[in-house]
A and B are shown apart, each in its own frame.
Chain A
Amino acid sequence: MNQINVTRRQFIVTSAAAGGGLMLGVFVGSANAAVVNPMPWQNPNDKEGLELSQWIVIDPSGVITVVQPHAEMGQGAITSTAMMLNEELQADWKMIRVQYADPNRHVMARGTPELLPNVQGADGLWVTMASGGSNVVKARHPHIMQAGASARERLKEAAAQTWGVTRDQVTAKDSVLTAGNRRGTYAEFATRAASIKLAEEPKRKTPEQFTFLGTSVPRLDVPLKVNGEAKYAHDIRLPGMVYAAVYANPVPWGGRAKFDFNAIKARPGVIAAVELRAVDGKRGIADLQNVVAVVADTYYHAKTALDLMPIEWDYGPNAAMSNKTLFETAYKKLGEKGGVRKDDPAALAALAAAPADKKVTGDFHRPYEAHARAEPITTTVNIKADGTVDVYVGAQNPPAVMTAVVEQLGIEPKNCFVRRQFLGCGFGSSSGTFAAKQAAQIAKEVGRPVKLIWSREEDIRNSKHAPAYAARFEAAFGADGLPTAIFTRTFGGNSSDNTITNMPYTIPLRHHERHADLEQAHIPITTHRAPGTGLVGFASEQFIDDLARKGGWNPLEWRLAMTKNRPDYQIVLNALKAKAGYRMDLPRGEGMGVAVVESHGSIAGAVSTVTVSRRGQFRVEKVVVAVDSGHIINPLNATEQVEGSVVFGLAHLLGGGLQFERGFVQNSNFDNYRLMRIGDMPVVEVHFALSGGEKWGGIGEPGVPPTAPSVANAIFAASGKRIRSTPLTEHDLSWA
């Protein structure tokens, strides 16, 4: 047996700190497995091999490294990017590795336009590093595939020049170039190809020509995530590193703290207390709030000392806010005229003229939600003697982190290096940027590398939250039992007016208003997984259900009848009809519900089945989802994403729900911010009804919006209870 002594001050340091050298992926014995570089934080500029472009490095051994800009947060970005690139590059997939692109190099290229790719909207060398909005495949495939096509043609041209043939006589497949009986590998021609500039960029393949995209390919990161090898920001260890635990004023933008460091400074390992100060007038998403931090030699020492330190907060002027005041304001506002987003006086007139029995109304609301990423926000900042700064983070938008740290420390952008890690979930939380500023300032003040970890309590209380929402719907009916006019007025939420104004149903008159005031409230908000469409869909698709039922319709047939002029919706609804159907004849206590919502360029619908006992115990039995994202590049990964979207939608329907009292979040951890567990997991069926052609929709989020309203509609069918708010734990579903 080995014998290792570990003292308190002695750290085992990962090879990350040593830096340098090409880290090839390890081979894992599963068929068809190309493997991601296990250490994606390594400086991508340090590798051996030949850089054909910023996207592709070819090693003499034949290993091809795809240097890609997008964040891996479980959505399969690194695999998707490599697949899209290799559809064109035609390299041997088993020899492909993936590495994160360097945000510093990306950003610094902005000053040299000739380096920027000729793509509209490019903000750096890899076009964009932002990963969100279900965009990685939907919006990025053209330039990613172009990078692969360009490299392939340069390799072919290199072979053609060497062999004295024309480029179109050379074929490229599985990293091998051939022309007649001539044969050579990509690695052999990489050097010559690197100096070739094409007179004209090749045309990309059209979807009918795809041979690799559209096949189920195992995600490259999976083998690293079954043995503890995958590294997250949470796992960074640097020589001389100390740990910070932080406590921000729980009332956002509240005042400063009085705290007594002397009371804890003799505790084991404690090094310092640091106060971070908000800057007057700066209330942006990345701006510092008032924070007290304790720095110690281990996280346990830092966290324990912080918990024990006497701290008295000045909560400031917003300390009276609560969920009660929030929704009192919301419903008051729903009674007042809001910002007109779609003006239709005829709709208002029709509603005013409609008799009570020809009208349906419905109010809905949802509370603020935390992201509750699996990995609590963690950032490590190392301000080095040479003036450069390393920031170790898992971020959906690394250049934003870079900008935040540059601003906080007042350094030159060229000296800031964001070392990217795997993310323990993303969900549109931008709190990593905010935490990077905290870590940078603390590192500066203590003069040591600092690893800052938000406790789960800090994470749930003080993250940037997904906003609360309220909505009022009114519809007037014609003699045929179908709606003629609809009025909507919403409060808060993310700006997703289009989801309401573009509702696909043939309701001729529509008027829409929105009170966006919530955005000016003291609680900082950000996105979520399908934020706006999820909130709107929860309300609109339940209201639509009431409209269908008022006319005596089967709600699935109603949606089919009312979208006759929307072939895009018909594809999805017909798939739901074929795969799930909708039954009106279930016994009381059992119910089916349907919902369909367009989001992120895709249309997704769900048919859910629930049971509700007389005493109000309920269970989601089954969720059948149909999605039209136009194309899918990896059915395995796409299926996982839709399954995960269903769980996300259910998690914040069955549970979740931030409770504000005294101006701040009262939930503190997973015991009182309850999120779905395996025991609540229904059967989920995922069907792709793909229209193809020019449509490229997202897949990471569109499954979220229809899930909650389909379940809510099923609960109504089973119990007669309309679900006007979340979480469901606040509702009595019993029936007699």
Chain B
Amino acid sequence: MALALNVNGTSYTVDVEPETPLLWVLRDNIGLTGTKYGCGIARCGFCTVHIDGQATKSCQTKVSAAVGTRVTTIEGLSANSTHPVQVAWIEHSVPQCGYCQSGQIMAAAALLAKRPRPTDAEIDEAMADNLCRCGTYIRIRQAIHRAAELGNR
């Protein structure tokens, strides 16, 4: 069935079953591949996007639940990688393989929107669902603190 979505400020009409996970609609139907599949059960965080500003695992979100909301993916976080989280991520050289990083960045950006100066404990809690196999956790913490500085300037 035809469903209307607002993704990164653009309206899309997609013809899919309403129970289709948003993740696959973003990737396979709309073609925004920055959001990654990792587990399909909301346990790795690679698929994290914002729905009305809230960090959401798109693999466990039915596309029908995203109708009438504003969906933001990594591609829509900023123009030219200028969001403080992206700037801090480059400064601290966070990504290694990079596959989990769209999700990490979207989770971090949603955290900072709620908590402009998070503590390490708040970071650990907010990022607990975001797995990284390369082991960039130290730099993620550092970069979130740096992004907080940049965002509060």
Contacts and interface: CB of A to CB of B under 8 A. Distances in A.
A54 interface: no
B17 interface: yes
Interface residues of B, number: 68
Q: For chain A, what secondary structure do more than half of its interface residues adopt (helix, strand, loop), or is it mixed? A: loop
Contacts of B133: 372-374, 425, 427, 648, 651, 675
Nearest to A9: B15
Q: Which of B73, B89, B98, B132 has the most CB of A within 10 A?
A: B98
Contact of A425 (B33, B78, B99): B99
A647 B135 contact: yes
For B20, B37, B80, B135, the residue with the greatest tally of chain A CB atoms inside 10 Å of its CB is B135
A686 B13 CA distance: 51
Interface string A221-242: 1111111111110110100000
B44 to A, nearest CB: 5
Contacts of B34: 227-229
Interface string B63-78: 0000000000111011
Contacts, number: 216
Nearest to B106: A228
A456 B98 contact: no
Contact of B93 (A222, A229, A453, A678): A222
A7 B36 CA distance: 21
Contacts of B117: none
B128 A679 contact: yes
B36 A234 contact: yes
Nearest to B11: A3
A707 to B, nearest CB: 10
Interface in A229-262: 229-232, 234-235, 237, 243
Contact of B30 (A12, A374, A646, A670): A12
Contacts of B132: 374, 647, 678
Contact of A4 (B11, B24, B80): B11
A644 B98 CA distance: 13
Given A7-B15, A227-B77, A648-B135, A669 B39 contact: yes
A654 to B, nearest CB: 13
Interface in A364-415: 372-376
A679 B74 CA distance: 24
B46 A299 contact: no
Contact of B139 (A230, A640, A683): A640
Contact of A218 (B27, B32, B93): B93
Given A30-B90, A300-B21, A75 B96 contact: yes
B38 A237 contact: no
Given A234-B36, A456-B40, A224 B24 contact: no
Interface string B102-146: 100100000000000000000111011011111111111100000
B134 to A, nearest CB: 5
A374 B97 contact: yes
A422 B138 contact: no
Contact of B97 (A74, A218, A651, A676): A74
Interface in B80-101: 80-81, 86, 89-90, 93-101
Given A226-B81, A228-B32, A237-B31, A671 B138 contact: no
Given A12-B30, A425-B134, A230 B98 contact: yes
B97 to A, nearest CB: 3
A24 to B, nearest CB: 17
Contact of A670 (B17, B33, B41): B41
Nearest to B136: A644
Contacts of B37: 234, 299, 376, 453
Interface in A410-443: 422-427
A74 to B, nearest CB: 3
B46 A374 contact: yes
B97 A423 contact: yes
B95 A222 contact: yes
Contact of B95 (A226, A235, A670): A226
6 contacts: A28-B81, A222-B95, A226-B95, A227-B75, A424-B97, A681-B124
Question: What are the 6 tightest A-B residue pairs by CB atom distance, in nearest-first order?
Answer: A228-B34, A647-B135, A424-B99, A225-B98, A74-B96, A74-B97
Interface of A: 1-8, 11-14, 28-30, 73-76, 218-219, 221-232, 234-235, 237, 243, 268, 298-300, 372-376, 422-427, 453, 455-456, 636-637, 640, 643-648, 651, 669-671, 675-679, 681, 683-684
Interface of B: 9-17, 20-21, 24, 27-41, 43-44, 46, 73-75, 77-78, 80-81, 86, 89-90, 93-102, 105, 123-125, 127-128, 130-141
